Amino acid sequence: MIDRPVSIASLPNLGPKSEAALHTAGIHCVQELQKLGAVAAYVLIKRSGAPASLNLLWAIEGALTNLPWQVVAREHRTSLLLALEDYERTGWNAPRCKHSVTPF
């Protein structure tokens, strides 16, 4: 049996537009999204110039934790915003999939 790669758009809370934004940021597989985490992926999307509101951050976190984005926005908003602030301040080295293009 051959395992097919899971489409990012098939994850809960994410669809074709979210997948396109992630692809623009150089994130092409679910494995990479999982390794990066929601905050790092969101930062890459913002830096790529793709349109992204905080709702996308909530949606990505929800996709990775299997929670509806509305629950993430309500219950995890503060911790995600603090992580985003810290992440943008300190920088990072993001892991990449073997077939991804580094956006920097």
Q: What is the pLDDT of residues 36-55, one digit of tens each?
A: 999 999 999 999 999 999 99
Domain boundaries, the chain: 38-92
What's the rounded Cα separation, in Å, for the pair 47 and 58?
18
Average pLDDT over residues 72-86: 95
pLDDT computed for residue 96 by the predictor: 46
pLDDT computed for residue 99 by the predictor: 40
**Which two three-digit tokens encode residue 16?**
């074709």
pLDDT computed for residue 100 by the predictor: 40
What band does 87 get if pLDDT is binned at 50, 70 and 90? confident
H or E stretch covering 74: helix 69-75
pLDDT computed for residue 101 by the predictor: 37
What's the rounded Cα separation, in Å, for the pair 28 and 100?
6
